[in-house]
Amino acid sequence: MGMTMSQKILAAHAGVESVKSGQLIMADLDLCLGNDITTPVAINEFEKAGFDAVFDRDKIALVMDHFAPNKDIKAAEQCKQCRQFAAKHSITHYYDVGCMGVEHALLPEQGLVTAGELVIGADSHTCTYGALGAFSTGVGSTDLAAGMARGKAWFKVPEAIKFVLTGKKNPWVSGKDIILHIIGLIGVDGALYQSMEFTGDGLAQLSMDDRLCMANMAIEAGAKNGIFEVDEVTLAYLKEREKKAPTVYRADDDAEYAQVFEIDLAAVQPTVALPHLPENTKTVAELGELPIDQVVIGSCTNGRLQDMAQAAQILKGKKVAPGLRVIIIPATQQVYKQCLQLGYLETFIDAGCAVSTPTCGPCLGGYMGILADGERCLATTNRNFVGRMGHTGSEVYLASPAVAAASALTGRISVPEIPEEVE
């Protein structure tokens, strides 16, 4: 029996010819990732176990992004502990205020992950890097500690679900709408501990930013990882960074899949996830125009340049609805600088938006946009659980940057107008 993309990567890193779903393996790691929330726990376990050195200072990335710039004393202490650990072990890829970004936008941008690699991170959205053709998955802080010390981790080989993308996207439909459509179709446990593998001629419709968004939200369907077939778009993105040579793995023709879904992109419409689960989806047309109190555009899901460009295109020369709070957070310093150079920041500020330095901030209810009881937020983030962005009596709706920007103008969940040239 043949192997899937994920199984081939795991087999290569375990040093065996083949693996099958359900098999337990020990595999070598190409990168270990931690942030300012999860790394302190890992450091404590690292030191408790008596480790005195990391396995490879070039294969560890520590990103201060969740509560940085520090929001309070506890956040400052956590970052201090990470900073001291990074200095003690001469960690090459340590990112703090002034050079950091939201981790899952920063690492691909900096060329720290490439196709065919095996990556773990003490953050559930580490599955983002599957967009590059890597096997990447979230782990606990104890696993991160062991990974940093030994460069290895245990894995149970997942079975896979194949998603064959076909057709052409509609105007203003992005990767966010597609992944919300899929999660609405299969549910938040529809891919539980499985690999979501994306292929098909519809991939040509998706930019790398679309793919990074979709892989990021594989965990919201319960998946172990999400992974995209490597194509010319992937290779062009990787070549721009050229820090590591990619290794391309393709699924065998006789690879075994638990399920196969064909997704016609032409059937996907601008989609919103209603409280309090990402599977609770409706199209904007089905939802109707629902009043909102706040809009957040950013996060590791939708804080990249394409997302900022869409928001700027819709907001340019206009004003946000009276009484509505709109917060825009470019995901990295590079994206922030590009927004400045392209005039997007001026567009956002002139429209009445608050623009933040890169941070996870409001996504996890951290800071920079916490909700009060009874408030409703439309966000481009990836989760809308009870109390996710503040009070347990608040509500979070998930949407694309285009829908978020259009809604910022009306004060209600809305779709953008279709440009005349594509009508």
Contact at 8 Å (CB) between 330 and 365?
no
Same domain, 155 and 301: no
Q: What integer is the mean pLDDT of 174-195?
A: 95
CA torsion sign for 107, 27, 194, 144 is negative
* CA 216 to chain centroid: 3
What CATH number is attached to the domain comprising 371? 3.30.499.10
Q: Are residues 325 and 369 in the same domain?
A: yes
DSSP code, position 311? H
59 and 158 inside one domain:
yes
Q: How does pLDDT run across 226-235, given as a tens digit for each residue?
A: 999 999 999 9
What average pLDDT is seen over the chain? 94
Partnered with residue 27 across adjacent β-strands are 153
Residue 307 CA neighbour count, 13 Å, CB half? 33
Residue 418 is predicted with a pLDDT of 64
User: Above 80 in pLDDT, residue 244?
Assistant: yes
pLDDT band at 420 (very low <50, low <70, confident <90, very high): very low
Cα 326 to Cα 254, 261, 335, 378: the distances in Å are: 49, 37, 18, 10
Position 1 pLDDT exceeds 90 = no
Task: Identify the domain containing residue 373 by its residue range.
Answer: 272-422
The answer, yes or no, to whether residue 19 has pLDDT greater than 90, is yes
**Mean pLDDT within 265-275:** 95
Residues above pLDDT 70, as percent of the chain = 99
pLDDT digits (tens, 9 = 90+) for 216-229: 999 999 999 999 99
Does the residue 1 lie in any domain? no
Q: Is the pLDDT of residue 421 over 80?
A: no
Query: For the residues of 213-233, what is the DSSP string, one character each?
Result: HHHHGGGGGT-SEEEE---HH
Nearest to 40, CA basis, from 2, 91, 78, 83: 78
What Rg, from alpha-carbon coordinates, does the chain have?
21
pLDDT (0 to 100) of residue 287: 87
Please give the pLDDT value at position 417. 77
Residues 31 and 139 in one domain: yes
Could you read off the pLDDT of 26-72 as tens digits, one per residue? 999 999 999 999 999 999 999 999 999 999 999 999 999 999 999 99
